Structure 1
Amino acid sequence: MSALISDAFSVITELDAFPPHLKGGVVAIGNFDGVHRGHRAVLDTALTIGRELNAPVYVMTFEPHPRSVFNPDAPVYRLSPFEQKNDILKACGLSGSLVLPFTREFAGVEADAFVREILIAQLGIAHAVTGYDFHFGKARKGTPDFLRQSGADNGFGVTIVAPENDEGSEVISSSRIRTALSDGDISLANGLLGYRWFVDAQVRHGDKRGRDLGYPTANLALPKECPLKHGIYAVKVRHGEQMVDGVASFGRRPTFDNGAPLLEVHLFDFKEDLYGKILRVHLVSYLRGEEKFDKIDALVAQMNRDSEEARAALASMQPLSELDHLLLDGPA
C-alpha cells in the first residue's frame, strides 16, 4: 500500500500517492536512523516553522539505508527499522513520513532535478529543514549551501540545523549510539537517543530450558548484524496494550549450547502464551556480561539476583523525555 493513514499520521511510499493535505508543507529531510536527539533538533525546528506558517510538517526519508545500497556486503545496523522509525516520528508530533526508495538510479539524480521535480513540482514545499551534514543528488552536489540558494531562487524557505551536542560537548550521532550498544553502555545509548532503545521481534519456539529452570522466556531472534553486547538487561516489554517489566539475556548461552545469539526475555508475573506474537522490548539498563556457569544451581542463583536487580532498576526509572514517556506509556 502506498499511503497509510493512522490517527492523522500518513506513511507514503510513492510520490504519486502524496496526499493533498501535506502539499505546501514543511519537510524535514534526512535518514533519521534512530531518531536521536540530534535528529529531533531538526524535527523540532521543522515543527516550530510549521506552527508559524500554519502548515503541515512531515519528514522525507529513504529506504533502504544508502549505505546498504552502496556497500551491500557490510549493511549498516538499523537502530530504528521502517516501522519503528515511523512509530517514533508519529510520537514526535509529525503529520507524516514520505519514504522514498533509495536506489543507485535515485542517487544519480542531479541535485537541481531533485529540487525542481520533487520538492517543487510534486511536493510544493513551503520550507525545507535539514541537518548540517545532509547532502543529496548525484555526486552529493546537493550541499546545504546549494539547498539554501535553491530555496532563494524558487521561493521556498530553507533552514539548516547545526549539530546537536551531548552533555560532554560531543556531537550526537547514530554511529556513537551503535558503539554504545556494542559496549553495553545502554545508559549512554539511551541518553543520546532521548528514549529507551527498543527492538521488535516475533516470539519463536525454543528448547524450553528456561521453563525447567523456573524462568520461562520469550525467545527473540535479532538481526545478525545487531551490535548489542551479550549480557543481561533490565527491560520493559510491550505486548499489545500491556507494558510488562522483565529481565533479558542476549547471547549464545555458553552454559548450554553456545549457539546463535538470541534475546531471551523473562517477563515478571506474566503467564500468557506468547508464541508467534510480536514483542517490543525496551532496554532500560545493562546488568552484567554473559557468563558460563559450571553448575545449574549457580546459574539459577545468579538469575535470581539478576531478577532482583532488574526489578529495582525498573522501579526507580524515570522518563528520559516526553518522547520516552509516550513510547513507554502512550498508545501502542
Structure 2
Amino acid sequence: MIVVRTIKDIADVIAGSCVTIGNFDGVHKGHQKLIELCCERAKARDLISVVVTFDPHPLRVLRSDKTPPFITLTEQKLELLSQFGPQVCLLLNFTMDMAKLSPEEFVKTYLLNGLNMKEMIIGYDYHLGKGRAGNFETLTALGEKHGFAVDRLDPVTIDSAVVSSTRIRDLVQAGHVWAVRPLLGRFYQVKGEVVHGMNRGGKLLGFPTANLKLVDELFPKPGVYAIWAQVDNKVYEGVANIGKNPTFGNDALSVEAHLLGFSGDIYGTDIRAHFVQRIRDEKKFNSLDELKDRIAKDVELGRQILAQPEAAIKVTRPDFDKGPEVK
C-alpha cells in the first residue's frame, strides 16, 4: 500500500479509482468489509483501490475538548489498513478549512480532480462535508451529476449488535478484552517503549517486568491481564498489570508486563501488548509475600488462558512499506 498525504503527490498518476472513505478508528470488522468490497470492485473494473482517511481525526479538530480516546493512532491505523489490500491510502491533513467544504466541493477537489474516482463505497452511516450533509442520497445525486457510482455497505453485526468503534471502546474500557477480539478480528493492543521503572519487579518480587512508556490513548480497565507480548518479530506469553500499583502507593497510570520465558535487556525497545483476557482487579496487598504469591497465581492463570486454542495469535507484519510513501 502506497501512502500519500496530499493530492499533489499523486496528481495525474491514477487513471481511475474505486474509493472508500472514513475515519476507520480501530479498523474493525465493519471497516474491513468496506475495504475488501472496495478492493473487489476496483479489481472487477480495472481501477485502483484507494482508502481515504484523515490525520488528525476530524473530531480532534472540530471538538478537541470532547473527543474520546481513539482506538488506533495513525501509525497503527496505516499498518492495519494495509493488511486488507488497498493499493493506495490518501492520508489527508484534516483542518477547519476542510471542514467548511460542502460535499460537492470536497468530492470535486479530492476525489474527482485528485483520484479520478469512478466508484465510491461508503459505510451505512457515513456522512461527508460541512454539516455532515454528504449522506448516501446526496452523494448518489453527485454521482449522477459527475459520473461516478455510489454504493453503501450495510451494517456488520456480531452477536446481534452492530460492530462500531464506540462499542469496542466501551468494551475495552470495561476490561472485556476477550469480547473485543471478534469485533476487531484480533486482540486489542497497545504499544510502548520499555523504560526504566522502580526496579521492583525482578529485584524485589522475583518477577521482572517491562515498564512501557504509554503512547496510545485507549487502555483497558485497570487490573491484571493475560497478554501476548510482541518484541520485534517474536511473541512471548505474558501477564500485564495496568494501574497505579496501589501496594506501593503510586499515582501514575502504568503498564508493566512480565514476559514468560524471556531474558535480556530490552530497554529502549518497543513492545506490543496484545490483551487476551482479564484475570483480576488491581488491589492493594498487605505484604510483599502476599503480593508475590498472587503474582505467581496470575502467571499460572495467564499460562492456562494463553494455552487455549481460541487464544492463539497470528502476528501480521505491515506491508504498507512495500510501496514508497510519498511525503
- For normalisation by structure 2, the TM-score amounts to 0.92
Corresponding position of 2:287? 295
SS for the counterpart of 1:188 is helix
Residues in 1 aligned to 2:131 and 2:98: alpha-carbon distance in whole angstroms: 12
- Please say if 1:96 is aligned against 2:88: yes
Q: Which digits, 9 at most, give the CA deviation of each residue in 1:214-239, with x for residues without a partner?
A: 11111113358534200111111221
Quick check: 2:14–2:116 contact (8 Å CA) kept in 1? Answer: no
Corresponding position of 2:193? 202
Residues in 2 aligned to 1:154 and 1:301: alpha-carbon distance in whole angstroms: 69
- Cα distance, 1:85 vs structure 2: 0.6
Which letter maps to 1:18? I
Residues in 2 aligned to 1:108 and 1:283: alpha-carbon distance in whole angstroms: 40
SS for the counterpart of 1:272 is coil
SS for the counterpart of 2:161 is coil
Quick check: 2:207–2:258 contact (8 Å CA) kept in 1? Answer: yes
Residues in 1 aligned to 2:271 and 2:173: alpha-carbon distance in whole angstroms: 22
Residues in 2 aligned to 1:199 and 1:262: alpha-carbon distance in whole angstroms: 12
- Cα distance, 1:93 vs structure 2: 1.9
Identical pairs, percent: 35
SS for the counterpart of 1:229 is coil
Q: Which digits, 9 at most, give the CA deviation of each residue in 1:44-73, with x for residues without a partner?
A: 211221221132212100111111112212
Quick check: 1:221–1:261 contact (8 Å CA) kept in 2? Answer: no
Q: Which digits, 9 at most, give the CA deviation of each residue in 1:131-172, with x for residues without a partner?
A: 1111111122111111112112222221111111112x1111
| Ranges of 4+ aligned residues in structure 1 off by more than 4 Å | 19-23, 329-332
Quick check: 2:53–2:92 contact (8 Å CA) kept in 1? Answer: yes
Query: Match for 1:233 among 212, 222, 225?
Result: 225
Quick check: 1:107–1:136 contact (8 Å CA) kept in 2? Answer: no
Whose relative contact order is higher, 1 or 2, with alpha carbons under 8 Å and at least 6 apart?
A: 2
Query: Which runs of no fewer than 5 residues in structure 2 stay unpaired?
Result: 320-327
Query: Which runs of no fewer than 5 residues in structure 1 stay unpaired?
Result: 1-8
**Coordinate RMSD, CA, aligned:** 1.9
- Cα distance, 1:258 vs structure 2: 2.6
Corresponding position of 1:106? 98
- Go from structure 1 to structure 2 and tell me whether the alpha carbon gap of 1:98 and 1:23 turns closer, same or farther (over 3 Å shift): farther
- Cα distance, 1:330 vs structure 2: 4.8
Residues in 2 aligned to 1:75 and 1:319: alpha-carbon distance in whole angstroms: 32
SS for the counterpart of 1:158 is strand
Corresponding position of 2:31? 39
Moved more, 38-47 or 83-92: 38-47
SS for the counterpart of 2:42 is helix
- Go from structure 1 to structure 2 and tell me whether the alpha carbon gap of 1:251 and 1:39 turns closer, same or farther (over 3 Å shift): same
- Cα distance, 1:263 vs structure 2: 0.7
Size of the alignment, in residue pairs? 318
- Please say if 1:314 is aligned against 2:306: yes
- Please say if 1:64 is aligned against 2:56: yes
Corresponding position of 1:4? none
Query: Match for 1:186 among 177, 187, 196?
Result: 177
Query: Match for 1:123 among 108, 115, 122?
Result: 115
Query: Match for 1:81 among 70, 73, 80?
Result: 73
SS for the counterpart of 1:266 is strand
- Please say if 1:242 is aligned against 2:242: no
Residues in 2 aligned to 1:271 and 1:314: alpha-carbon distance in whole angstroms: 20
- Please say if 1:263 is aligned against 2:255: yes
SS for the counterpart of 1:122 is coil
- Go from structure 1 to structure 2 and tell me whether the alpha carbon gap of 1:313 and 1:171 turns closer, same or farther (over 3 Å shift): same
Q: Which digits, 9 at most, give the CA deviation of each residue in 1:263-322, with x for residues without a partner?
A: 1011111112111111111111111111110011111111111111111111214378xx
Corresponding position of 1:211? 202
